Amino acid sequence: MNKVLPPPSDEPDQSKGQLSARIRSDIERRILSGEWAPGYRIPIERELMETYGCARMTVNKALVALVASGLIERRRRAGSFVSQPLVQSAVIEISDVRAEVEAVGQVYSIEILSRRQRTSTVADMKRLDIQTPRPVLAVLCRHLAGKRVHAFEDRLIDLVSVPDAAGLTFEKDPPGTWLREHVPWSEAENRISALNADSALSAHLGVKEGAACLQVERSTWRGTKPITAVRMYYPGDTYRLIAHFSPKGS
């Protein structure tokens, strides 16, 4: 069977692209439209293979992709079923601070408030989740969009994991950008919360004392070794994190 048969003619069809992708999007559409409800058993590979006039591996590729995206579940012998969307997986694209500012057409600049190398204090060790003291770099800086303060950053860098960071001034590239470009990481965690600005934070961000601010705490690791821990503060009235998503992130 060397020729590819025309698609089943009962559908308004986008014949472009690879066959496996088309099979995938056909099924995806039926699921998202509700035609195939959660729990519905979708046709077996053999049937789909005959429907589209292709090899089983081609159908299989489409189905494996659907499993990866969480839209279906498969059990041997039992068949493939449309899955119940259990949790909503929202993907937040956390871009570079500089890119974030420039994306809205403003001029980015950074202002280093302090930059100190020290042996980790107890508080530092807690933030980095380490047990023994070690050299760290502590940086406080402000990110400006034009003349307005876009964010205030409070960062710790583990100098054992990232010795090269010791020599940097961060006057051109912000620490986050440099780290992302130079240090490979394998895991990270964001903790997003709201807090009232205390006097220090209100001064840094240029907002009234007590104003609601969005705080994003991020820790990054390479394997089990911590790389950096950062707290980013944004004025609550102007900044928002936007997450766009589909069922289980396809």
Partner DNA sequence: ATCTCAATTATGTCTATACATATTAGCAGG
Partner DNA sequence: CCTGCTAATATGTATAGACATAATTGAGAT
Binding site for DNA (CB under 7 A): 1-2, 4, 18-21, 44-46, 53-58, 60-61, 63-64, 67, 74-80
What mask of x and - would describe binding to a copy of itself in positions 64 to 103, judged by CB under 8 A? Answer: -x--x---------------xxxxxxxxxxxxx-------
Q: Which of 230, 244, 236, 223 is nearest to 190 (CA)?
A: 230
Say which DSSP state 145 is in: E
- The binder of 95, among a copy of itself, DNA, none, by C-beta within 5 to 8 A per type, is a copy of itself
- Rounded Cα–Cα distance for residues 134 and 139 (Å): 16
Residue whose CB is less far from DNA, 25 or 109: 25
Residue whose CB is less far from DNA, 24 or 127: 24
What one-letter code names the amino acid at 66?
L
Say which DSSP state 35 is in: S
Q: Is 242 in the site for a copy of itself (CB under 8 A)?
A: yes
Q: Which of 196, 165, 198 is nearest to 182 (CA)?
A: 165
Q: Is 11 in the site for a copy of itself (CB under 8 A)?
A: no
Residue whose CB is less far from DNA, 37 or 203: 37
Q: Is 189 in the site for a copy of itself (CB under 8 A)?
A: yes
- The binder of 38, among DNA, a copy of itself, none, by C-beta within 5 to 8 A per type, is a copy of itself
- Rounded Cα–Cα distance for residues 110 and 236 (Å): 20
Instruction: List the one residue from 38, 43, 70, 135 that touches a copy of itself (CB under 8 A).
Output: 38
Q: Using alpha carbons, list the distances in angstroms from residue 109 to 39, 115, 205, 229.
A: 52, 17, 14, 22
Tokens of 79: 């068949």
- The binder of 174, among DNA, a copy of itself, none, by C-beta within 5 to 8 A per type, is none
- The binder of 34, among a copy of itself, DNA, none, by C-beta within 5 to 8 A per type, is a copy of itself
Torsion of CA 228, 233, 238, 239, to 10 degrees: 30
Q: Is 198 in the site for a copy of itself (CB under 8 A)?
A: no
Q: Using alpha carbons, list the distances in angstroms from residue 159 to 15, 110, 137.
A: 54, 22, 7
Q: Is 203 in the site for a copy of itself (CB under 8 A)?
A: no
CB 100 within 8 A of CB 150: yes
Q: Is 192 in the site for a copy of itself (CB under 8 A)?
A: yes
Instruction: List the one residue from 174, 175, 226, 236 that touches a copy of itself (CB under 8 A).
Output: 236
What mask of x and - would describe binding to a copy of itself in positions 143 to 172, judged by CB under 8 A? Answer: ------------------------------
Please report, in angstroms and rounded to a whole number, the separation of the first and last CA atoms in the chain: 32
- Rounded Cα–Cα distance for residues 87 and 77 (Å): 27
- Rounded Cα–Cα distance for residues 193 and 214 (Å): 6
Binding site for a copy of itself (CB under 8 A): 31-34, 37-38, 65, 68, 84-96, 180-181, 183-196, 210-215, 222-223, 234, 236-237, 239-247, 249
